[in-house]
Structure 1
Amino acid sequence: MRNTVFRRLMSQEFGEIRAEMLARDHVFSSLGNRTVDQALEAGLPAKEIWRAVCEVFEVPPERR
């Protein structure tokens, strides 16, 4: 998954502003206690990050 696809999915699911805030501020234990932005910077695959976001925020399977 490309980062652009990941960002689009985030915006579609949470709205543009909330998606940006979540990516910047929410720390995910499953991402090594990193935010989405930090995980992307560290080189974690966007698909892995999306799965973590979906798990924590209980995104329905049809939108994962």
Structure 2
Amino acid sequence: MKHSEFWQVLEATFGAGHGRSVAEDLVLAALGGRTAARALADGVAPRAVWDAVCDEMELDDATRWRHRREPRKDRSA
């Protein structure tokens, strides 16, 4: 997962404004008590950050793997 994919899937999942809020405000224990934004800035792999967000928010597998779906399938979801 690239950084751009992380931000795209975060916004697709939570909405543009709320997604950014989740990244800036949600403290993730799995990432040492950092937010997603801080973890990314510290060099944590975007995939690890996304997994931590999914775990913390108890998101389903379809959402966890949203970034791997074909774009045309996302449009119909």
TM-score range, shorter chain: over 0.9
Root mean square deviation, CA, Å: 0.7
Note the residue ranges of structure 2 that are not aligned, 5 or more in a row: 65-77
* TM-score normalised by L of structure 2: 0.80
Distance 1:62 1:29 in 2: 23
Report 1:36-55 matches (<5 A): 36-55=36-55
Matched pairs, number: 64
Note the residue ranges of structure 1 that are not aligned, 5 or more in a row: none
Distance 1:49 1:20 in 2: 14
Which structure has the larger Rg over C-alpha atoms?
Answer: 2
- Structure with the bigger percentage of strand: 2
The structure 1 segments of at least 4 consecutive aligned residues displaced by more than 6 Å after TM superposition are none
Identity in percent: 31
* TM-score normalised by L of structure 1: 0.95
